Amino acid sequence: MKYIDEFRDGELAQKIASRIAAEADPSRSYHLMEFCGGHTHAISRYGIAELLQANVQMVHGPGCPVCVLPIGRIDQAIRLAMEHGAIVCTYGDTMRVPASDGLSMIKAKARGADIRMVYSAADALTVAEKNPQREVVFFAIGFETTTPPTALVIREAKARGLKNFSVLCCHVLTPPAIVHLLESPEVKQYGIVPIDGFIGPAHVSIVIGSRPYESFAEIYRKPVVIAGFEPLDVMQAILMLVRQVNEGRAEVENEFSRAVDRDGNLLAQQMMDEVMELRESFEWRGFGSVPHSARRIRAAYAEFDAETRFALDYQPVPDHKACECGAILRGVKRPSDCKLFGTVCTPENPMGSCMVSSEGACAAHYTYGRFRDIPVVAA
Ligand code: SF4
């Protein structure tokens, strides 16, 4: 299949792996963070880490939208359904993330809350139109990829004069999260998380373009290569990063030139800016409050803002004590470092958000990589 098979060619993957091996300097190490959960999934699924020599290491980043959603926001969505009697619509993975009091959205649904899985923001709008007597809230999560469709339905709801539709807007932004990570003591002060470069997300960059990464590549001297999600995309990006590190360059390069350009999708950006503005700060799981890292609905569209409409307050809630999701999202730990991994916590019974989505580091490692953790005992 065009753009699929040619980017999954095993022989080519071996050739790129040989190039990486030939060009990586054996006297140093390369720690490359894949920001996005889509890349984490690809790296686990295709065994990419196993194709690399020991001094080229991948570090999981925080770019899985379900994973970074803090418990307090899921509690808000549950409250909307259980206390305010709203129909709450959201994407499938969001429904399984553990919330307070042993609940999740799907468990709340089992207790009678009207919570519905939708495939798109537009589906939530349809639910609102079909239920004019009920309040319908779309619990909107995700990075810049899923933000434009949310902005579009808010604009559409206004144009259609819908009175029973609102959005709990929890859309987050990629560049501020990367900067926050680079400014964290674990990276900056103590070097606990060494980062020599980033693989940048493909779909986010289709929307925002490659330009927003340029300032931090320059300021923090970290190379960025934007890459697609097929295995050869990721392998090629690793090779490009190794070359930048070797040459002492810190530039933004674009491996995914088949869909990403420097400016991104200007129409989508315009629509997001028309309907939404930056929040002063927003809590991310594992990161705490990150300045200017999320969007809220502008005053001109306040009637569609569920936080305003239902006078919701926000209460931060700590994660399960034994769950290491926060440290995993910051690149400090790996899934196998968590005592609950694969025993108490599995994709069927997730104790933390990283085990929910296929893009979560724990779920990806459970599905594809856990067998490699077991040492082979000689007969
Ligand atoms: S294995 Fe489960 S409990 Fe442990 S860090 Fe991952 S999601 Fe959290």
Cα 157 to Cα 149: distance, rounded to the nearest angstrom:
12
**Closest-lying ligand 1 atom to the alpha carbon of residue 342:** 1
Q: Are 60 and 331 in contact (CB under 8 A)?
A: yes
Predicted local confidence at residue 192, as pLDDT? 87
User: Which ligand 1 atom is at minimum distance from the Cα of 354?
Assistant: 7
Residue-level pLDDT at 281: 96
Spell 4-38 as b/e; 16+ CB within 10 A means b: eeebeeeeebeebbebbeeebeeeeebbbbbbbbb
Q: Is the CB of 328 under 6 A from ligand 1?
A: yes
| Model pLDDT, residue 190 | 75
Residue 124 CA, ligand 1 centroid: distance in Å: 30
What are the structure tokens assigned to 281, written together?
């700060």
Instruction: Break the chain down into helix, strand, coil percent, rounded to 5.
Output: 45, 20, 35
Provide the pLDDT for residue 370: 77
Check if 324 has its Cβ closer than 6 Å to any atom of ligand 1: yes
Whole-angstrom Cα distance, residue 238 to residue 17?
9
CA–CA separation, 29 and 194 (whole Å):
10
Radius of gyration of the chain (CA): 21
pLDDT at 188: 85
Cα 293 to ligand 1 centre (Å): 24
Ligand 1 pocket residue status of 108, Cβ below 6 Å: no
Task: Tell whether ligand 1 has an atom less than 6 A from the beta carbon of residue 256.
Answer: no
Which tokens belong to 307? Answer: 């936080």
Check pocket membership of 326 for ligand 1, CB cut-off 6 A: no
Please, which residues bridge with residue 90 across strands?
Answer: 117
> What pLDDT sits at residue 5?
85
Tell me which residue has tokens 């095993």: 10
Query: Which of 291, 308, 330, 354 has the alpha carbon at shortest distance from 98?
Result: 354
For residue 305, what are the β-bridge partners? 167
pLDDT at 2: 77
Length of the chain, in residues:
379
The tally of CA atoms less than 13 A away on the side-chain side of residue 151 is 23
Q: How many angstroms separate the Cα of 329 from the Cα of each of 59, 63, 64?
A: 10, 8, 9
29-80 tens-digit pLDDT:
999 999 999 999 999 999 999 999 999 999 999 999 999 999 999 999 999 9
What's this model's pTM, rounded to 2 decimal places?
Answer: 0.94
Query: How far away, in angstroms, is 277 Cα from ligand 1 center?
Result: 33
333, 324 in Cβ contact below 8 A?
A: yes
According to DSSP, the residues that pair with 167 across neighbouring strands are 138, 305
Which residue puts its alpha carbon closest to atom 3 of ligand 1?
A: 323
Ligand 1 pocket: which of 71, 325, 330, 370 to mutate (most atoms <8 Å of CB)?
325
Check pocket membership of 286 for ligand 1, CB cut-off 6 A.
no
Q: Which amino acid is at 102?
A: G
Q: Helix, strand, or coil here: 222?
A: coil
Phi then psi for 296, rounded to 5 degrees?
-130, 170
Residue nearest atom 6 of ligand 1, based on CA coordinates:
362
First-residue to last-residue Cα distance in the chain: 43
- 70 C-alpha to ligand 1 centroid (Å): 14
Q: How far apart are CA 348 and CA 262, in angstroms?
A: 41
Ligand 1 centroid–CA 97 distance in Å is: 11
**pLDDT in single tens digits along all 379 residues of the chain:** 777 888 999 999 999 999 999 999 999 999 999 999 999 999 999 999 999 999 999 999 999 999 999 999 999 999 999 999 999 999 999 999 999 999 999 999 999 999 999 999 999 999 999 999 999 999 999 999 999 999 999 999 999 999 999 999 999 999 999 999 999 999 988 788 999 999 999 999 999 999 999 988 999 999 999 999 999 999 999 999 999 999 999 999 999 999 999 999 999 999 999 999 999 999 999 999 999 999 999 999 999 999 999 999 999 999 889 999 999 999 999 999 999 999 999 999 999 999 999 999 999 999 998 777 765 555 5
Q: Output the CA 370–ligand 1 centroid distance in Å.
A: 13
Specify the ligand 1 atom closest to the Cα of 366.
Answer: 1
201-243 tens-digit pLDDT? 999 999 999 999 998 899 999 999 999 999 999 999 999 999 9
- Residue type at 337? D
The pLDDT of residue 378 = 53
**pLDDT at res. 369:** 81
User: Residue 374: what pLDDT?
Assistant: 62
CA dist 313 and 296 (Å) reads: 14
Q: What percent of the chain has pLDDT over 70?
A: 98
* CA 59 to ligand 1 center in whole angstroms: 16
Residue 28: phi, psi to the nearest 5?
Answer: -140, 170
Q: From ligand 1's centre to the CA of 337, what distance in Å?
A: 9
The CB density around residue 76, as the number of other CB atoms within 10 Å, is: 22
329 lines ligand 1 (CB under 6 A): no
Sorted by sequence, the CB contacts under 8 Å of residue 69 that are 6+ apart come out as 94, 97, 141, 170, 285, 353
Measured from the Cα of 333, ligand 1's closest atom is 5
Look up tokens 């400014």; give the residue. Answer: 183
Ligand 1: which atom is nearest the Cα of residue 355?
Answer: 7
DSSP string for residues in 56-67: EEEEEEEE-HHH
Quick check: CB of 362 below 6 Å from ligand 1? yes
